[in-house]
Amino acid sequence: MTIPGVGPIIAVAITALAPDLSGFKSARHFAAWIGLTPKSHSSGESQALGNISRMGNSHLRTLLVTGAMSVIRSAKTAERVSPWLAKLRKRRPFKVAAVALANKTARIVWALLIRGGNYIKPGGTVDVGTMA
């Protein structure tokens, strides 16, 4: 629940609805299972990625996107905003940025649940006492 955009409802939903996370090869596979990765329309010569596939768990996807929208809304008033999120918000519409942030959040969740540990804000200081 230390991840921005992930609260108690999302944390419980992930633990209840997601199968064994070690069964996913990577964080991208977990995000694809939720339905947050772009659908591929590629041929031999060109690579084209479309909208999100929406082929996964719609309940988890909705919760993660809603959490991401709240993070983006609060980032407008926050003093320190992630540079990645600020640049993304400038060049993409609100909901597209929210889905991208939800994808990133799902990947972070997978990595933390597989590898263990606590979420540390990028650029944040690390307390030696909390490291596992």
Which pLDDT belongs to residue 78?
64
The confidence score (pLDDT) of residue 63 equals 93
Task: Please identify which residue in the block is written with the tokens 């996964």.
Answer: 56
The HSE-up count of residue 45 (CA atoms within 13 Å, CB side) is 0
User: Tens of pLDDT along 83-130?
Assistant: 888 888 889 899 899 999 999 999 988 888 888 777 877 665 444 444
The helix/strand/coil state of 40 is: strand
Question: According to the model, what pLDDT value does residue 98 have?
Answer: 92
pLDDT digits (tens, 9 = 90+) for 1-31: 678 888 889 888 888 888 888 888 888 888 8
Domain ranges of the chain: 8-119
Give the pLDDT confidence of 64-83 residue by residue, as tens digits. 999 999 988 887 766 677 88
- pLDDT at position 126 is 44
Query: In 3D, which of 67, 62, 54 has the Cα closest to residue 101?
Result: 67
